[in-house]
Amino acid sequence: MSDVLVVAEGRNGELREVSFELLTAGRELADAAGGELHVAVITGPVAEYAAELNREGVDAIHTVDAGEEFNHDVYVQAIEGLYDAVEPGYVLAPNSVNGLDYAPAVATALDLAIVTDVVDLELGDALVATREMYGGKVETTVETPTDRTLVTIRGGEWPPAEGEGSATIEAADVEIDEDAISSTVTGYEEVAGGDVDIADADVLVSVGRGIEEEDNLELIFELAEAMDATVSSSRPIVDNGWLPPNRQVGQSGKVVTPEVYIAIGISGAVQHVAGMKGAENIVAINTDPNAPIMDIADYAIHDDLFDVVPALTAKFAD
Amino acid sequence: MKVLVTVKEVATVDDEFEIDGVGIDDRFLGADLNEWDDYAIEEAVQLGEAGIADEVVTVTIGPEDAEQTIRQGLAKGADRAIRIWDDALAEADLLDVEAKTEILSAVVAEEEPDLVLTGVQADDDGFGATGVALAESIDYSWAAVVNELDLDAEAGVASVHRELEGGLEELVDVDLPAVLTIQTGINEPRYASLRGIRQAQRKELAHLTLEELGLAESVVAGDLTLTSMYEPETESDATIFEGSPEETAGQLAELLREEGVAP
Ligand SMILES: Cc1cc2nc3c(=O)[nH]c(=O)nc-3n(C[C@H](O)[C@H](O)[C@H](O)COP(=O)(O)OP(=O)(O)OC[C@H]3O[C@@H](n4cnc5c(N)ncnc54)[C@H](O)[C@@H]3O)c2cc1C
Ligand SMILES: Nc1ncnc2c1ncn2[C@@H]1O[C@H](COP(=O)(O)O)[C@@H](O)[C@H]1O
């Protein structure tokens, strides 16, 4: 019998969706382990967060009122304290940018095994976690024999928990040692503003690393012009400085929901897909029939973009 | 100050491949410098050029074959390199975060760098966890997913931007010594010059075993066991256009016109 402790995530006064998905993943694991589901709510408006997280299946919510926004040193200390108090078998955290800023440190500090970016969990004789490798080309299962494991889960893989809960809500008895805090958040900055808002476009012609060289972007702009569409891109194109940041689709760029999204030479990494899976029609042009983008494409051409794109432009230029 | 950069040679996979046991058959694998580590090397080399870093050392846990990748780092301007490998490491199916952390911690104890730069994630197994786990283990401060770095060596503070989701950046001051996990786009990694490549041949590339690092073979065991690898069942119900580029482009154009989304 093991309990499960999940760590919720908020930002700017709002809980992020993955927090509710964590409740579902946590409840499933707690059922399999015959234990209780505990939730840690650390920093931010913790009382409001706790009330919102009190959904079906949650047994206890522990709040740590320690500042408005995320600080990993506070998180690590708070989770260490809660771990000692709750003594869970498993800790679940989001595989978010902030999750990756504290979860590995928690695992090291508490000497837990860590498995990250998990898309499925089964508990039998061992804990079996499913995760991808090679940018989603293969899936693997990894086992941890111990019940002292920290798992970070990928967003969007579990449905969010719903319903009214009857959890106990308590301020946790943990002390934060201010002297042990060696990083200070000094502010926030919005990036990626500018001339074009790709989120407004009905049709996006989106280009990825398959384009190979900056000069070849011309092909993409010609197609977009012929189709009266807007050009967007995956991250490497922006990293290379070939397009400005406001053109980037994905986790750290923009979320877009156009009528048509044409992914050209884009593999479909999870962080890219996070920004475009809501498009109505997804078209993929890619030489690799096994590229992960094919899983979410509605239409596909398995061929060389340098042949297909000019041909397509010609069809619209007629 | 001394900067240590962790550098992984990652496996790349051909479009068509076969799985053999819990790994991809060697015939379908290539090797490359991990993209994120390329940016980390560049950041360190630029700190050297700015007169902030006196020495840039790279460390790689990897087989002899990885030396081609390690030499790339040296050719781009790192001063020397360390490679950790032995039979125990060669036999492991999966080197988990805990094992890598223990090994890299031993290197840090030896080298005592002021700053450690890792990549955000390794492109092949993608744990995204080694840098932060290492920081906790060696009692350094840290910041994950850094896409801007401004170092004040005298004050002993690294002012960084952390790239959060949705175009938001968090500005953080981190006390040195620190581990930063570097995100792509933070700089423009250089190509190695011919001169750099020549010089790299003469730079020190030390090979160490676990024993030489004072570690027991058992560190390799870790907590995780890789038990299966398979091609994910495709959830694709995509309509695939077949034919020559001329034909497929024609079918797609027709569809887009039917949908009323293109002129
Ligand atoms: C914290 C974090 C945040 C991230 N945020 C984002 C984000 O917001 N947006 C984003 O996009 N990525 C993001 N990434 C990066 C992401 O993991 C991938 O590295 C990136 O999406 C890959 O871009 P790509 O598909 O263009 O390149 P690749 O993965 O290299 O794919 C190139 C594709 O082009 C195909 N191709 C090659 N040549 C041709 C040809 N001649 N014709 C047709 N097809 C061809 C290949 O088969 C391949 O599928 C993030 C990563 C991290 C760690
Ligand atoms: N075998 C290795 N040798 C050296 N550095 C590594 C190794 N594996 C991972 N790293 C470093 O840790 C970072 C994150 O890797 P990971 O946590 O495996 O995704 C990489 O970008 C590397 O900088």
Q: Which residues of B touch A142 (CB under 8 A)?
A: 94, 224-227
Residue B263 placed within a domain: no
- Output the ligand 1 site: residues, CB below 6 A: A 97, 135, 208-210, 234-236, 248-253, 265-267, 269, 271-272, 275, 285-288, 291, 304-306; B 120-121, 145
**B22 in a structural domain:** yes
On whether residue B159 sits in a domain, the answer given is: yes
- Per the structure, the count of domains in chain B is 1
Q: What is the pLDDT of residue A191?
A: 82
Say yes or no: CB of residue B130 within 6 Å of ligand 2: yes
Rg (CA), chain B: 22
In a mutagenesis test of the A interface, which of B29, B116, B127, B246 is the best target, namely the one with the most A β-carbons within 10 Å? B127
Residue A279 lies in a domain: yes
Residue A186 lies in a domain: no
Q: Both A132 and A207 in a single domain? A: no
Examine the domain organization and report whether A18 and A159 are in the same domain: yes
For residue B169, the chain A residues in CB contact (below 8 A) are 188-191
The whole-number pLDDT of residue A318 equals 63
pLDDT of A11 above 90: yes
Strand bridging mode A183-190 / B168-175: antiparallel
From CA B217, how far away is CA B200, in angstroms rounded? 31
Q: Which domain holds residue A43?
A: 4-180
Nearest CA to CA, how far is A196 from chain B (Å)?
A: 15
pLDDT-derived band at B179 (thresholds 50, 70, 90) equals: very high
Mean pLDDT of chain B: 96
The two three-digit tokens of residue A265, written as one number: 């030479």
User: Is B234 domain-assigned?
Assistant: no
Judge whether B77 and B58 are in contact, CB under 8 Å: no
Q: How many residues does chain A have?
A: 318
Ligand closest to A274 (CA) is 1
- Best residue among B123, B183, B186, B241 to mutate for probing ligand 1's pocket (most ligand atoms within 8 Å of CB) is B183
Q: What is the ipTM of this complex?
A: 0.96
Same domain, A313 and A257: yes
Average pLDDT, chain A: 95
The CATH number of the domain holding residue A108 is 3.40.50.620
pLDDT band at A192 (very low <50, low <70, confident <90, very high): low
CA distances to A42, A79, B196, B203, B243 from A45, rounded to whole Å, are 9, 18, 54, 54, 58
Asked, for residue A213, whether it belongs to a domain, the answer is yes
| Residue B83, domain CATH | 3.40.50.620
Read off the CATH number of the domain in which A213 is found: 3.40.50.1220
Which residues span the domain enclosing B171? 2-220
| Residue environment code for A156-183, b if the CB has 16+ CB neighbours within 10 A, otherwise e | ebbeebeeebebebeebebebeeeebbb
Is B161 within a domain? yes
**Rounded percentage of chain A residues whose pLDDT exceeds 90:** 92
Residue B144 contacts by C-beta under 8 Å, 6 or more apart in sequence?
A72, A97, A100, A101, B120, B131, B132, B162, B181
User: What's the pLDDT score for residue A120?
Assistant: 98
In a domain, B259, yes or no: no
Residue A204 placed within a domain: yes
Q: What is the secondary structure of B29-53 as a DSSP string?
A: EEEEE-HHHHHHHHHHHHHHHTTS-
Same domain, yes or no, for A241 and A96? no
Strand B29-33 versus strand B9-13 pairing type: antiparallel
Q: Where are the alpha helices (DSSP H) in A209-260?
A: 217-227, 235-239
Identify which of A101, A102, A134 has the shortest CB distance to residue B124.
A134
**A123 close to A132: Cβ distance less than 8 angstroms:** no
Cα-to-centroid distance, A293 and ligand 1 (Å):
10
Instruction: Let me know how long chain B is.
Output: 263
A242 and A205 fall within a common domain: yes
How many residue pairs bridge chain A and chain B with CB atoms within 8 Å of each other?
262
Task: Indicate which ligand has the atom closest to the C-alpha of A243.
Answer: 1
Confidence of residue B194 (pLDDT cuts 50, 70, 90): very high
Does the residue B132 lie in any domain?
Answer: yes
Rounded CA-CA distance B49/B41 in Å is 12
Q: Is A236 exposed, middle or buried (0-12, 13-18, 19+ CB in 10 A)?
A: buried
- Among candidate residues A157, A65, A227, A188, the one with its CA nearest the CA of residue B167: A188
Please give the pLDDT value at position A161: 98
Q: Is B159 left (phi over 0), alpha (psi -120 to 50) or beta?
A: beta
Instruction: Out of A180, A210, A228, pick the residue that ends a domain.
Output: A180
A134 within a domain of the structure (yes/no): yes
pLDDT value, residue B98: 95
Q: Which amino acid is it at B29?
A: L
* Domain-embedded: residue A66: yes
In a domain, B165, yes or no: yes
Reported as a single tens digit per residue, the pLDDT across B114-154 is 999 999 999 999 899 999 999 999 999 999 999 999 999 99
Kindly report, residue by residue over A105-132, the tens digit of the pLDDT.
Answer: 999 999 999 999 999 999 998 999 999 9
Same domain membership, residue A268 and residue A174: no
| pLDDT tens, position by position, B219-243 | 998 889 999 999 988 777 899 999 9
Q: Are residues A148 and A203 in the same domain?
A: no
Q: Out of B94, B230, B261, name the one closest to residue A142 (CB).
A: B94
Residue type, A273: V
Number of domains in chain A: 2
Least confident of A171-185, A217-231, A274-288: A171-185
